[in-house]
Structure 1
C-alpha cells in the first residue's frame, strides 16, 4: 500500500532500525530522513513539526519521525555547540556523514536497498564500533554514546575500533568532556545500566580516562570491586533479558557499582549527577549494609543497626530490595530468616507495652530491649 503523505518524497529509513535489523537485534522504532524537501513541503502533506533545534516532523498517520537531511558545523563548546544546516541541497551522504558511528550511518530505501557510503555494514559484520569522521571529536556526548552501544552489543562480540578509542583518549586530554552537564551524563549512564553488559560502559570510560572526568568519585579500585559484584549478580540472573526485569534492574546495577565506596562518596556522587532518589537511596543503603555486616552479621547490634539504617520500621520493602544484592557483596545471610526476623521485630507492639505501664523514654527502651532479645534468640 502506498504511503500517501510521503509519495513523491525521497525518503530513507535510518539509524537504529536499519542497524538492529541487520544485526538481528530487537528494535521498536523507525526513524526516517527526507532528502530534497523543505519544511513547507512537509507541512503541506500533513506532517507536524516537532523539531526544536532542527526540522523534525511526525508522520500524520504512523507518527514516526521524519527529519530533513542536514549537516552540522561546530560553533561552540560541548554537545550543544553546533549550527545546523537543513536544506534541499543537503545530500543523503552529507546527512549520514554527520552521524557518530558507521553502524549508525546506514540508510535503507523503502524497497529495502542499503545505502552505506561509510562501511557500516562491514563494521557490523566485523563487530566494530568505528567513528564516521573526525567530526566525532566535536561532540563529547558521543564518547558516552559509544560506551553505551558497547554495553548493548557486547554480547555479540563488539569492540571499539583502536582508532576510535585513540580519538576518545584525545578528546579526554583536550578537555572537551568537561563541557558535559550532569543531566546528560546521567541520561546516557542510566540507559547503559539497563543493557545486558553495563560493565562494558564503565570499563571503556575508565580505560580512556573519561570516567575520571564524568564520574570522578568512582576510582579504579572501587570500580573493579563494583564490576566484580555486578558480574556475579548478572550471572545469577541466568539467560533472561535483563532489560525486561522491571524498573529496579538499573537501580540494582547502579547500587552494586557503587557498593565499594564510602557512604558520603555515594551521596556526593549521586547528588552531583542528579540521579533520581530511588537510585541514590538504594546505592546508599547497600553501602551502609555492606560496611555494617561485612561478611555476616553475627551480633544482634549489627542486625538491628542495619534495620535502623534501612528504616525497615517504616519501609519494610527496603530489606526486600537489598537482599538479592547481599550475596554478591560477600555477605552470607538467610534471606527468608532475615525477612521473618524483621517482620517479627516490626510486630512488637508499643500498645501492649504501654498496657504494661511503659511510657515516654521507658517505652522506647522497652521496645529496643524486646527487639534485642528477639534477634539474639534468632542468632543463637
Structure 2
C-alpha cells in the first residue's frame, strides 16, 4: 500500500501558499485492508476513509467512466490495480494533478516538497510557472461542475489565465447542454466559494466568456452592455461596474451575505426599459423581484437572501440618505428592519459602500452614509419604547396607533441628534 499527497496541498505548497487541506490517495489497497487498520469509511459515491488518528480523508485511487449527463452520471472503479497515474488523469486541472509520495514515517503529518521526487505526468509544474489553468484530459468534459471550478480557481489565482483549449472545451460543454444538468446545490456551492475568493470578478468573467453565466445567472449576464446612470460614469457599463463592486467587497473583507447582496443589488438594470435609460428608474423594485427568482432557483441560504433583498430594495435610498431629514431616516431604518436586526443593517450598509466605491476614481473614497446611518440608528435606539408604548396604552391607544407614537418618539430623537450635529 502506497500513500500520496495530491491535489491542492501540493499545488499550494509549490506556490508558497499556506496548505489548508490535505488530499491523500491510497494506491494498492482494498477497503477491507483500510478498515482493518482502523480507517473509518465515510464515502457514499466512492471509497473514502478517515484516518484513525488525524481524521483526515484518505481516498482509494480510482477511475471514473461517464454513464449519464450531469455531475452524478459516473461509474466509479476503485481497486488495488488502479495506478496513481490513472487517478491523476481523472483530475480537473494540471496544477491539481501533481503528487508526492508520503514518507512512511510521516505519511499522516507534514510532508516535504522535493521537486525531484514529484510525480507530475501532465505538466502541472510548468503550468504553475506559466500561470495557466489547463484541463488534464478530454475527460474534463464529463463533469460540468469543472466549468465552475475553473472559474473559481480564476478568482483565487487572479494572475492565472485559462488555456485557450480549456476555454474552447468549456464553450463546447455549455453549447452541448452540460451546464443545464448542474443541480442548484452544486452551483450555489461553487458560486459561494468563488465569491469569497480574493478577486471574485474573475469567476464571473470566465463564466461569461465560456457562455455559462447566461445559463446559470442570466439576470447577471444581462448587465453587460447596459450603461450606468449619467452621474455614475455612463461610459462604464453596469456589468463592468458590478465586477468592480465584487472586488471591492473582497477588498473590504466582506462576508458571503454581503458579497451575494453586491452581486444581486442591480439585477433590475438588466431589464430597464429603453425609455428610461440610463436613469434606471424603478430598478430597485425590478432587482428585488428578479432576486427572488435567483434565490429560489439556486436555493440560496436565508441569511444571504434576506440581506440581498434589503440591499436590492433600499440601496438607492441608502445612497441618498445624506439628504434625508429625521422622518425619512426613521422610515428608512424601519423598512430595513434595523431596530430588530441591527447587525443585518450594518451588513447592508457595507454592501452599499462596496457599490458606491466600486466605480472609477472612487475606490479610495469615503462613504459617509454608512457612518451617518449607523449614528442615526443609535440615536433612534436610545428611545425606550416600552415606556412610550405603556403611556400610549394608558391614553387609550392600541395597535398601529402605538406604533405611530413610537415612530414619533424616534423621529424626535433623530432630530435632536441632527441638531446637535452628527459626529
TM normalised by structure 2 equals 0.79
Shift in CA distance, 207/372, structure 1 to aligned 2, threshold 3 Å: same
* 1:367 maps to 2:406: yes
Helix, strand or coil at the partner of 1:218: helix
* 1:325 maps to 2:327: no
C-alpha separation between the residues in 2 aligned to 1:343 and 1:358?
29
Deviation at 1:313, TM superposition (A): 2.6
Deviation at 1:18, TM superposition (A): 0.9
C-alpha separation between the residues in 1 aligned to 2:409 and 2:45?
63
Deviation at 1:67, TM superposition (A): 1.7
Picking from 7, 19, 25, the partner of 1:15 is 7
Aligned partners of 1:348 and 1:367 also within 8 Å: no
* 1:135 maps to 2:139: yes
Long gaps (5+) in structure 2: 104-113, 224-237, 268-286, 358-366
Deviation at 1:376, TM superposition (A): 5.4
Match in the other structure for 2:360: none
* 1:229 maps to 2:216: no
Long gaps (5+) in structure 1: 1-8, 243-247
Q: Which stretch shows the higher mean deviation, 38-47 or 267-276?
A: 38-47
Q: Which stretch shows the higher mean deviation, 294-303 or 43-52?
A: 294-303
Match in the other structure for 2:273: none
Match in the other structure for 1:311: 337
* 1:80 maps to 2:96: no
Match in the other structure for 1:4: none
Picking from 15, 18, 25, the partner of 2:17 is 25
Match in the other structure for 1:349: 385
C-alpha separation between the residues in 2 aligned to 1:355 and 1:46?
69
Q: Deviations over 1:310-338 (max 9, x none)?
A: 11232222322222232332395443432
Picking from 340, 363, 367, the partner of 2:375 is 340
C-alpha separation between the residues in 2 aligned to 1:308 and 1:66?
52
Deviation at 1:379, TM superposition (A): 5.6
Deviation at 1:294, TM superposition (A): 4.4
- Paired residue total: 360
Aligned partners of 2:94 and 2:135 also within 8 Å: yes
Shift in CA distance, 288/192, structure 1 to aligned 2, threshold 3 Å: same
Aligned partners of 1:299 and 1:379 also within 8 Å: no
Match in the other structure for 1:255: 261
Q: Which stretch shows the higher mean deviation, 347-356 or 123-132?
A: 347-356
Helix, strand or coil at the partner of 1:303: helix
Deviation at 1:233, TM superposition (A): 3.8
Q: How does 1:19-58 map to 2 (within 5 A)?
A: 19-58=11-50
C-alpha separation between the residues in 2 aligned to 1:367 and 1:108?
67
Match in the other structure for 1:280: 305
C-alpha separation between the residues in 2 aligned to 1:312 and 1:189?
28
Q: How does 1:104-183 map to 2 (within 5 A)?
A: 104-111=96-103, 112=114, 113-154=117-158, 157-183=159-185
Aligned partners of 1:223 and 1:258 also within 8 Å: no
Match in the other structure for 2:110: none
C-alpha separation between the residues in 2 aligned to 1:353 and 1:15?
62
C-alpha separation between the residues in 2 aligned to 1:353 and 1:60?
60
Aligned partners of 1:350 and 1:367 also within 8 Å: no
C-alpha separation between the residues in 2 aligned to 1:65 and 1:24?
23
Match in the other structure for 2:279: none
Q: Deviations over 1:74-120 (max 9, x none)?
A: 00010010101112222211111111101111111125420111111
Q: Which stretch shows the higher mean deviation, 73-82 or 223-232?
A: 223-232
Aligned partners of 2:245 and 2:354 also within 8 Å: yes
Deviation at 1:353, TM superposition (A): 6.4
Match in the other structure for 1:61: 53
Helix, strand or coil at the partner of 1:330: helix
C-alpha separation between the residues in 2 aligned to 1:181 and 1:353?
50
C-alpha separation between the residues in 2 aligned to 1:86 and 1:202?
35
TM normalised by structure 1 equals 0.87
C-alpha separation between the residues in 2 aligned to 1:269 and 1:176?
20
Aligned partners of 1:225 and 1:260 also within 8 Å: no
Match in the other structure for 2:93: 101
Shift in CA distance, 358/53, structure 1 to aligned 2, threshold 3 Å: same
